[in-house]
Amino acid sequence: MNPVIRRLGFIFVGIFFVINLGLLIWHFGWEVPRQKCEAGHKWWDAGQRVCATPILTSDITGRLIDNPQAREEALRAIGRLPPKAAPAPAAAAKPATK
């Protein structure tokens, strides 16, 4: 077999392995963390590989959203469920019977 063909075969196999290694590093170093971050309703910054927690402007300023429907939609948009209403207090306790 011609040594040039054998050398080219090794070069192509080496390039193939380098590309696959690069794809594995990209997948587990960037893609998997991005998917986990977005699954948690957070913001992924690919440039710095940072998973940031979104916050409402009302959390910073202290002003609440007056419209209950708008507040609920804003909380759902950032992945926080609105607080549930407190259960009604029990009426009068029933006396124990013998």
How much is the pLDDT for 50?
A: 92
Low-confidence ranges of the chain (pLDDT < 50): none
**Which residue range is the domain that position 66 belongs to?**
3-77
The count of domains in the chain is 1
In a domain, 64, yes or no: yes
In a domain, 45, yes or no: yes
26 to 17, 44, 76, 82: CA distances (angstroms): 14, 15, 31, 36
How much is the pLDDT for 35?
A: 95
Q: 41 near 76, Cβ under 8 Å?
A: no
In a domain, 82, yes or no: no
Question: Which pTM was predicted?
Answer: 0.56
Which residues pair with residue 50 across a beta bridge?
Answer: 45
